[in-house]
Amino acid sequence: MRPGWDEYFMQIAHTVSTRSTCPRASVGCVLVREHRILTTGYNGAPRGVAHCTEVGCTLVGDHCVRATHAEANAVVQGALHGVSLEGATAYCTHQPCVNCSKLLISAGVRKIVYDGPYPDAVAGVLLAEAGVAAVQYAALEGARG
């Protein structure tokens, strides 16, 4: 059966996540506008820095700070290649954290569809204040029946 657009782009986000180089979580993000993929990103070390899979994670608190988050990498790809993200929808395997939410807001993303929860109350407040819709993919599936 042919998937709907949300299912299609969420499947691609999950495929993108397989490129992750941080063993703590495989996260993928696809930025889309008018049913066209603009950029993708997965969590991994910055260019020129050894990946977690090569040297281990660098933990501060309970977070790996060696890896750049998938959403941030997707935004960086837009900047690096001159691709405007204004009006885009982000399809993310995980709900964006506060820092990634701020990047997506500033990049002009208007909607975020995420699969797995990563509850961050501050991220939710900022997204709502900026008028960025954040919808869990499972809720979309349930609404379609």
The letter for the amino acid at 28 is G
The letter for the amino acid at 78 is G
Q: Please report the pLDDT score of residue 143 as a whole number.
A: 52
Query: pLDDT tens digits for 18-72?
Result: 999 999 999 999 999 999 999 999 999 999 999 999 999 999 998 999 999 999 9
At residue 142 the predicted structure's pLDDT band, cuts being 50, 70 and 90, is: low
Query: pLDDT tens digits for 59-92?
Result: 999 899 999 999 999 999 999 999 999 999 999 9
Bigger pLDDT: 1 or 110? 110
Whether 104 contacts 75, CB under 8 Å: yes
Distances (CA, A) of 128 to 6, 44, 70, 134: 21, 28, 21, 8
Helix-strand-coil percent breakdown of the chain, rounded to 5? 40, 25, 35
Q: Is the model's pLDDT at 144 over the cut of 50?
A: no
Helix 5-17 to helix 137-144 angle (10° resolution) is 150
Query: Is 71 assigned a catalytic role?
Result: yes
Whole-prediction pTM value? 0.94
Q: Please report the pLDDT score of residue 118 as a whole number.
A: 87
Q: Please report the pLDDT score of residue 61 as a whole number.
A: 92
- Residue of 7, 34, 54, 71 marked catalytic: 71
Residues in the chain: 145
Q: Is the model's pLDDT at 139 over the cut of 80?
A: no
Average pLDDT, integer, range 88-109: 98
Q: Where do we find the tokens 């379609």?
A: 144
